[in-house]
Amino acid sequence: MTKRLAQVVLSGWWATFALYAQSPVSYQKEIEPVLKKQCLGCHMAQNKQGGLLLSSYSDFQKGGAKGPGFTTVVGYISGERQPRMPFGGKSLPDETIATFRRWVAEGSKDDSASSTAEVSKLHQPALYTAPPLVMAIAFSPDGKLLAVAGYREILLHEYGGKLLARLPGIAMRIHSLAFSPDGKRLAAVGGDPSERGEMQIWDVASRRQTASIVTSNDTFFGVSFSPDGTKIAFAGADKSVRLYDAETGKEIRKMDHHEEWVFGTVFGIDGKRLVSVSRDRAAKLTEVDTGRFIENVNLLREPLTAVTRHPKKDWIAVGGAERIPYLYKLDRPRAMRIADDSTLIRKFEKQDGPILALAISPDGQLLAVGSEVGDVRIYNLETGELKGKCTGHVGGIYTLVFHPSSKELLTAGFDGMVRSYDVSGNLLKAFAPVPLEKTAVARND
Amino acid sequence: MIQRSALLFLTVVAATSIAAAPLSFVKDIMPVLNKEGCTSGPCHGGAKGKAGFKLSLRGYDPEFDYRAIMHDLSGRRFNRTESEKSLVILKPTMGVPHGGGLRFDTDSEYYKQLLQWMREGAVFGDPVSATVTKLDVEPAEIFVPKAGPAQKMKVVAHFADGSQRDVTKLAQYNSSVPQTAEVEDSGEVKTIRQGEAAVMVRYEGKLSVVPVTVLAGKTGFNWANAGENNYIDKHVNSKLARLQLLPSDLSGDAEFLRRVSFDLVGVPPTPNEIRAFTADKTETTKKRTAMIDKLMARPEFVNHWSVKWSDLLQVNRTKLGEKGAWAFHEWIRDSLAANKPYDKMVKELLTARGSTYQNPPANFFRFTAEPKVAMETATQLFMGVRMTCAQCHDHPFEQWTQNQYYQLTAFFGKTAVKSGMDSEEGVIYDKREDFDIKHPKDGRVMNPKFLFANDKFGVKDEELRESLATWLTARENPYFAKAMANRLWSYFMGKGIIDPVDDIRASNPPSNAPLLEALTKDFLEHNFDVRHLIRTIVNSRAYQLSYKVNGWNGEDELNYSHALPRRLSAEQLFDAVQSATGSKRKFPEVPEEAKAQDFVDPHVAKGGFLDLFGRPERQTSCECERRTDVSLVQALNLLNGSMIADSIADPEGRLAKLLVKNVSNKELAEELYLAGLGRYPQASELVKADEYLSKGDRGERAQDLMWALLNSNGFLFNQ
């Protein structure tokens, strides 16, 4: 009898002690992971249900249409407010709800470490146990340097020679690379899918990064320099086209003319107009100085993923899901009418897969087309005649570039190899653009 | 080709790390995407995908899905350098925000599997090794004496390469009647309440159905075999006894006569017919059989059934032209009057050529108008198979593929319509060029091929439709005779053994398979004799049961333990009002003595009573186009509309004639009950009627009485 009483007393004491001994709830370790796993699907920037965003502490604090974040969210996850959250899913366990309550009672503190540590870790060069997917390659205007997109880095090669430098950055994926016309700068855009986008500007000679703009909630695509080298344009999964000052790295303008993801940009010859292509099927022409939308260059057919311009004329080639490359001119020969396609110069043959990459040779003679099924074909731009087929790829082609001499075409994509072909489609060489680890043991741990 | 080379390359990449066969997309990953709902219609499997990521619906096209994951948007979703950072694994685990929420966590088996697959090179794999040939499900049937117990199922998939695997976790389950039996994602079946359900088990395109039966759990059930009129009753009773459902009593003579008259000739019996039939002392079964034969010999039998067939064959002047509609209607009537064997009738429809005036069955191609519609109509109408879904994708539940859709359509590729001499005349002919049916995905020309039994039935290029008709109407076609037997059964019993009747598929199992088999066999043995089958059905005791339920069958709607009251069709109701009131409605283009069952198409008496009560426009060959619901507008029309009120008050009508005769109140009431409800009034009803008629203006009160009878369920329903 007394023994049992003692036990009760003891356990009561222990419970009290345990309560006092509990360390305060950590936002970073106990709250944020739950929000990320359970809530962010509907309360991310793309959805923002109930006006509530839960992607950062400050957004959480701000709350949404139903009130300030912390207490309102606790009300909804506990079922005190209806409908209970997570909406349509299983209710959170009681312990988790209790943890949220305790965190609020303790003053809802943000104990997240500053993200600098993480970023500095990201600047370590990657270890490649398998070749990465190569999404972008670019030649310097003199043809001596070849930039290749790697994993959280850009690899700068002496073309035909050694790896000169590794330029690490934040973006996991570099979707697009472009040298400035004078060859002094290298611009790169990409990001981490569904998380953030990044635009980087590098000083080529010193190998130093002069700008890193991290913004948006998804990756960027299709970077291009204005012909005078002063401006950089790039496209985004956030349906935007952004214009930056190449010198200062400052945003000039963000344009939202598209209804869907935008994949490519290219300036007109005089730099006054910009073309952007999107999943919304349009190649949109905008005025660079004002951001004003002028008109659609093309007749809308199917989603577009690639665009490139003729080196000397205001002609663009576009392609995408329809698998057919089209050649358009930017200047319409007459006033636009309904279902007008008067800007169309030529329609090329249908490819075996959706088009992901297009390139026009610097001498303006050839068009190269790369598709999702590893198909690369070279055409005479003027006649549409098939000049060559480049074979040997495994998986999709994500990027194509002609050497400034117009005598070689470089391809890369899913299989992680860079291949060089002559303009008839004969393979000249193939190489892995990244230093591959000898063994792959690391993968078994 | 590309897939294979990808396999080679990637196996080399992976070979250094893993010695065992790598996980494959098609065998190991696809089922996870299907199970987790990634490929479902509301998510990425929808026609437009979701948030820019599109997969094939329920994973019917793994090659497409593999490309979408690996290559779409320059390989956005795959990271070979750090597999765990791949979008395809971050999204479902909510490592990054995912509109579809958390599908599985980083400590789950699915996560490990996905990660291992990518680390081993993310190979596509050999489709043969992933092709499921058979699903073994245990138990094959669930039968519990009362609701409550749960049962765990075990599912084993057999693959084309001879291997097998326990896929209980990855199979997908759903219950046809969740109120009776619920099924968990894990394959556990919970029985909720008395009834029957079918649990569908799906795995990678193969389907298996587990019937679940839950008894009421009541004690004291005593099966009393009430007797069998024919083989139908044997099968119905055997199911009833098993389910502990006690059938209702045999209907009374009046109840039977009203039901069988509506069902066979579309009109109710007259008071004198009822009097004669109920007074007849012949043994019940014999008497009823004789009545059935008598009714089937009446001209209204053909009239009534031609309404049904004109619905299904879309006899409608807007599609066929006025003369075409008449010609087609006449052909239907002649076919029914001659009791043309059903297979012959269908063959004539499918193979007709030439003028729609001269050769009326050619109107089949007039209303179907193009090859795809002709194919879809022919399969749905004559085989009870719905091919429509397969136009855009392989059917998610069934065996029919998109290829088969176009191969079958190719039989109609050459068929076309041109104008004849008369502007409304159509001429069905065979095109000599430009008749290829192409696959929408890649433009491949699809050659005509049957859905099955291709070795047995030849395809003659010059006689494509003849080839198709031979195959479709063959005894060997397991759908053709069965579909018709089931359809006919549903017309008399209120519900198909397979229901809806034109949706026969593995995932819509029959409620009484032996019964359907027996009906089909009988239909075949009698060379597609429709009248024989009708006669057999209405002679069965099951058909003749009362609609009144007992303590053991009130819940049953599936097993024919009692008659199911059905609302009268628009035409039946219209003609019943005329018959009860003796009032004739006149329409401009039809003879005075015509009944609604004689109207050629929905153009006659358009926009009135008939349309309100669900007469179809005849725009499709689906049974569903004829509405049989009961609505407020209908009730208001019966209560306050002119149709009932004017017919009752017709000075030429039954009531006016009765009132001038010297009949007693009770005689008057009896006549009205017999004319309206098809039965004698009960003693208490007679007393009340007598009282009511005595207390005021007799004529007005008699009209009130009739109005009340015609507004009761006993009038509105065939019960």
Alpha carbons A154 and A169: distance in angstroms, whole number: 8
Q: Rounded to 5 degrees, what are φ and ψ at B690?
A: -60, -45
* Predicted local distance difference test score (pLDDT) of residue A445: 33
* Predicted local distance difference test score (pLDDT) of residue A21: 57
- Residue B384: alpha-carbon gap to chain centroid: 7
Residue B13 has pLDDT above 70, yes or no: no
In CATH, what number is assigned to the domain containing residue B140? Answer: 2.60.40.1080
* Predicted local distance difference test score (pLDDT) of residue B109: 94
* Predicted local distance difference test score (pLDDT) of residue A11: 53
Alpha carbons B512 and B198: distance in angstroms, whole number: 12
- Indicate whether B702 and B579 sit together in one domain: yes
Cis preceding-peptide flag for A83 (omega within 30 of 0): yes
Mean pLDDT of B378-400: 87
Residue A312 has pLDDT above 90, yes or no: yes
Give A429-438 pLDDT, tens digit per residue.
999 999 988 6
Q: Rounded to 5 degrees, what are φ and ψ at B713?
A: -60, -30
Alpha carbons A153 and A200: distance in angstroms, whole number: 10
Q: Which of A56, A59, A129 to mutate to test the interface with B (most CBs of B within 10 A)?
A: A129
Last residue of a domain, one of B548, B565, B582: B565
In a domain, residue B223? The reply is no
Mean pLDDT over the full length of chain B: 92
- Indicate whether B575 and B693 sit together in one domain: yes
- Indicate whether B486 and B625 sit together in one domain: no
In a domain, residue B458? The reply is yes
CA distance B50 to chain A (A): 13
* Predicted local distance difference test score (pLDDT) of residue A123: 61
Place of tokens 């576009």: A318
Domain interval for residue B149: 131-214
Partner A contacted by B16 (CB < 8 A): yes
- Indicate whether B488 and B619 sit together in one domain: no
In a domain, residue B654? The reply is yes
With contacts defined as CB-CB under 8 Å, which chain A residues touch B12?
none
In a domain, residue B242? The reply is no
- Indicate whether B435 and B537 sit together in one domain: no
CA distances from A325 to A305, A321, A359, A402, B610 (A): 11, 10, 11, 17, 58
**Helices B642-649 + B570-581 axis angle, to 10:** 20
CA distances from A321 to A219, A385, B189, B542 (A): 20, 22, 45, 60
- Residue A312: alpha-carbon gap to chain centroid: 29
The pTM score is: 0.77
Token output for A191: 């990001």
Residue B9 has pLDDT above 60, yes or no: no
With contacts defined as CB-CB under 8 Å, which chain B residues touch A358?
none
- Residue B705: alpha-carbon gap to chain centroid: 40
DSSP string for B268-324: PPPHHHHHHHHH--S-HHHHHHHHHHHHHTSHHHHHHHHHHHHHHTT--HHHH-HHH
- Indicate whether B524 and B486 sit together in one domain: yes
- Indicate whether B596 and B553 sit together in one domain: no
- Indicate whether B581 and B701 sit together in one domain: yes
A and B: number of Cβ contacts within 8 A: 122
Token output for B225: 């075999």
Q: Identify the closest residue of chain B to A46 by CA–CA distance.
A: B99
Partner A contacted by B15 (CB < 8 A): no
DSSP string for B654-702: HHHHHHHS---HHHHHHHHHHHHHSSPPPHHHHHHHHHHHHSS-HHHHH
With contacts defined as CB-CB under 8 Å, which chain B residues touch A398?
74-75
CA distances from A398 to A153, A301, A411 (A): 17, 22, 8
In a domain, residue B624? The reply is yes
* Predicted local distance difference test score (pLDDT) of residue A30: 87
Contacts 24+ apart (CB under 8 A), B625-628: B625/B311, B626/B311, B626/B569, B628/B566, B628/B567, B628/B569
Which of B482, B453, B484 lies closest to B470 in space, CA to CA?
B453
Q: Where are the alpha helices (DSSP H) in B431-479?
A: 464-472
**Three-state DSSP class for B491?**
helix
- Indicate whether B649 and B664 sit together in one domain: yes
Residue B5 has pLDDT above 60, yes or no: no
> Which of A126, A130, A394 minimises the CB distance to B5?
A394
B48: confidence class by pLDDT, cuts 50, 70, 90: confident
Give A232-277 pLDDT, tens digit per residue.
999 999 999 999 999 999 999 999 999 999 999 999 999 999 999 9
Question: Looking at the DSSP assignment, which residues form a beta bridge with residue B181?
Answer: B191
- % of chain B at pLDDT higher than 90: 81
CA distance A261 to chain B (A): 9
Contact partners, residue A371, CB within 8 Å, separation at least 6:
A323, A351, A352, A353, A354, A355, A356, A396, A397
Structural domain count of chain B = 5
Domains of chain A from N-terminus onward: 2-112 (no CATH), 118-435 (2.130.10.10)
Last residue of a domain, one of B446, B472, B498: B472
Place of tokens 């209907």: B251
**Helices B530-539 + B480-493 axis angle, to 10:** 40
Helix (H) or strand (E) holding B135: strand B132-138
Last residue of a domain, one of B214, B242, B275: B214
Residue B411 has pLDDT above 70, yes or no: yes
Helix (H) or strand (E) holding B210: strand B206-214
Q: Is the CB of B96 less than 8 angstroms away from the CB of A194?
A: yes
Q: Is the CB of A40 less than 8 angstroms away from the CB of B94?
A: yes
Q: Is the CB of B17 less than 8 angstroms away from the CB of A55?
A: no
> Do A238 and A252 form a contact (C-beta atoms < 8 A)?
no
In a domain, residue B659? The reply is yes
Mean pLDDT of B479-492: 98
- Indicate whether B655 and B698 sit together in one domain: yes
Residue A1 has pLDDT above 50, yes or no: no
Mean pLDDT of A164-184: 95
Give B220-249 pLDDT, tens digit per residue.
888 987 789 999 999 999 999 999 999 999
> Do B339 and B530 form a contact (C-beta atoms < 8 A)?
yes
In a domain, residue B713? The reply is yes
Mean pLDDT over the full length of chain A: 89
* Predicted local distance difference test score (pLDDT) of residue B4: 44
Give A144-169 pLDDT, tens digit per residue.
999 999 999 999 999 998 999 999 99
Give B248-283 pLDDT, tens digit per residue.
999 999 999 999 999 999 999 999 999 999 999 999
Mean pLDDT of B287-308: 97
With contacts defined as CB-CB under 8 Å, which chain B residues touch A416?
80
Mean pLDDT of B159-167: 95
Residue A116 has pLDDT above 80, yes or no: no
> Which of A36, A47, A443 minimises the CB distance to B17?
A443
Alpha carbons B425 and B213: distance in angstroms, whole number: 55
Partner B contacted by A121 (CB < 8 A): no
Question: Parallel, antiparallel, or unpaired for β A397-402 and A386-390?
Answer: unpaired
Give A290-300 pLDDT, tens digit per residue.
999 999 999 99
Q: Is the CB of A89 less than 8 angstroms away from the CB of B76?
A: no
Which of B337, B308, B303, B315 lies closest to B595 in space, CA to CA?
B303
> Do B194 and B555 form a contact (C-beta atoms < 8 A)?
yes
B586: confidence class by pLDDT, cuts 50, 70, 90: confident
Partner A contacted by B75 (CB < 8 A): yes
CA distance B224 to chain A (A): 49
B2: confidence class by pLDDT, cuts 50, 70, 90: very low
B18: confidence class by pLDDT, cuts 50, 70, 90: very low
Q: Residues 259..318 of A with a Cβ closer than 8 Å to B: which?
A: 260-261, 279, 305
In a domain, residue B314? The reply is no
Which of B74, B63, B110, B117 lies closest to B91 in space, CA to CA?
B110
- Indicate whether B557 and B624 sit together in one domain: no
* Predicted local distance difference test score (pLDDT) of residue A339: 82
* Predicted local distance difference test score (pLDDT) of residue B218: 85
Q: Which of A56-65, B123-132, B285-294, B414-423 has the lowest mean pLDDT?
A: A56-65
- Indicate whether B603 and B679 sit together in one domain: yes
With contacts defined as CB-CB under 8 Å, which chain B residues touch A356?
71, 74
Give A346-381 pLDDT, tens digit per residue.
999 999 999 999 999 999 999 999 999 998 999 999
Q: Which of A414, A434, A441, A444 to mutate to test the interface with B (most CBs of B within 10 A)?
A: A414
> Which of B2, B96, B100 minimises the CB distance to A195?
B96
